[in-house]
Structure 1
C-alpha cells in the first residue's frame, strides 16, 4: 500500500492550477484518483459511470462498421478507453488543451487507463476543443476532417462552463460549426453534471435531426445514496 495521500502532478495553466491527486479512502478501502482545478473538483475515479456512458451511448447510435471518433477532454481517460473498447473504432483523436493531462497518461499515472496512450488507434492533439470547432477542425494534419462521433466532456454543463470563451459553443451557431465536422448521420454526445436542460435541448434540436437527453444514475459512495448526470446524444 502506498502513501495515504499523494499529489502526483501539479501545474499552473491559463485557466488555473490543475492537479492530479491519489488518496486512499479508508472507509471504502480503494485508491481514489481526483483532478482539481484550483480548489474545484473536476473529476474523480469514484464516479466514472457517466463518463463511460458518454462513449457507450454516443457510439450506440452509430450503425457503421468503421468509426473515426473524437474525444474532447481527456481527464482520467474513462470516455476514451470506453470508445477504444468498441471494435468498430478505427481511430481515436483525443483533443486536450492541457499538455500535462496528456502527460499523465503517457507516464502511466492512471492504472485504470493503462494502454490508452499505447493503443495504435489513439492520437493526442494538444488543442483547445472550442477554438478547434471555431477554426479548421480537430485534426491539424487534415483541416476540416469529418468524424463519425464527437464525445465531449470539458465543462460542468452547458450553463456552468470552465471559461467564458466556451459559452458560445453551446448556442445554435456553435453547434452548427460542430455539426459541420461530423459525417452524415454522425453523432455529437455531451456529458453534463446538471439535470436535462430544456434550453440546451432546444438549441440541439435546431441543429440535429434527433436529440436525446439520457439521465445516468449512479451510486454515490460519499453520500450513501444515488446521484445522476446527463448525457445528451444528438445525431445529424
Structure 2
C-alpha cells in the first residue's frame, strides 16, 4: 500500500496553479486521482461516468463509417480513452491547453489511462481549444482547415461557469457557428456540463445546429451515498 496522499505534479499556469494528486480513500478502499486548479477541484477518478458518456453519446449518432474525432480537454483521459475504444475512430486529436496535463499521460502517471498517449491514432496537441475554434488553422496544426466528424468538449464547468472569461464567447451563437465550421456535414458537437440542463443554452444550440438534446447522466456518489448528475449536450449539424 502506498502513501495516503501524494502530490504527483504541480505547476503554475495562466489559469492558475494546476495539480495532480493521488490519495487512498480508506472508507472506499481505492486510490483516487484528483485534479485541482488553485483550490478548486476540476475532476476526480471517483466520478468518471459522465466523461465516459460524453464520448459514447457524442459518437452514438454515427453509423459504421470511420470517424475523425477531436477531444477538447485531456484531463484524466476518460473521454479520450472511451473514444479510442470505439473501433470506428480512425484518428483522435486531443487539444489540451496545459502542457503538464499532456506530460502526465506521456509519463504514465494515470494507470487507468494507460495506452492513450501511445495509441497510433492519437495526437496530443498543446493548444487553447477556444483559440483554435476561432482561428483559421483549426484543431490540426499539420492540416489547417481540416474538418472532423465529432468534437467532444470538457473544459469548463458549464456554459455559464467558465474557467476563464475568454471562454465565454464560445457558448454564443457566433462561437458555436465557428465550431460548426470545423465539422463535416452531419458532424456532432458534444459538451459536458456540471450544471443541470440549461434551457437558454439549449436554445442557442438549436439556433446553430439541426438537432440538439440535453442528456442527464446520473451516477452513484460514493462520498454522499446518494446520486449525482451531470449533463451532456449533443448537437448535430
Q: TM-score range by the shorter chain?
A: over 0.9
1:225 aligns with 2:223: no
Secondary structure of residue in 2 paired with 1:123: strand
Supply the distance in 2 between the matched residues of 1:64 and 1:194 (Cα, whole angstroms): 32
Within 5 A, what are the aligned runs for 1:54-133?
54-133=54-133
Q: 2:144 aligned with 1:167, yes or no?
A: no
Give, in angstroms, the shift of residue 64 of structure 1.
4.3
Offset from partner CA, 1:91-113 (integer Å, 9 cap, x none): 00000000000000000000000
**Which structure 1 residue ranges, 5 or more long, are not aligned?**
none
Deviation at 1:143, TM superposition (A): 1.0
Matched with 2:197 is: 196
Q: Give the structure 2 partner of residue 45 of structure 1.
A: 45
Structure 1: 4+ residue segments shifted above 3 A: none
Alpha-carbon distance, 1:144 to partner: 1.1
* 1:19-34 → structure 2 map (5 Å cutoff): 19-34=19-34
Q: CA RMSD in A?
A: 0.5
**In structure 1, what is the Cα distance between the partners aligned to 2:195 and 2:62?**
25
User: Cα deviation per residue 1:31-69 (whole Å; 9 max; x = unaligned)?
Assistant: 000000000000000000000000000000112420000
Corresponding residue SS for 2:65: coil
Distance 1:149 1:64 in 2: 14
Structure 1 residues 130-176: Cα deviation after superposition (integer angstroms, max 9, x where no partner)? 00000021111111110000000000000000000000000000000
What TM-score do you get using the length of structure 1 for normalisation? Answer: 0.99
After the TM superposition, which of the residue ranges 157-166 and 132-141 deviates more from structure 2? 132-141
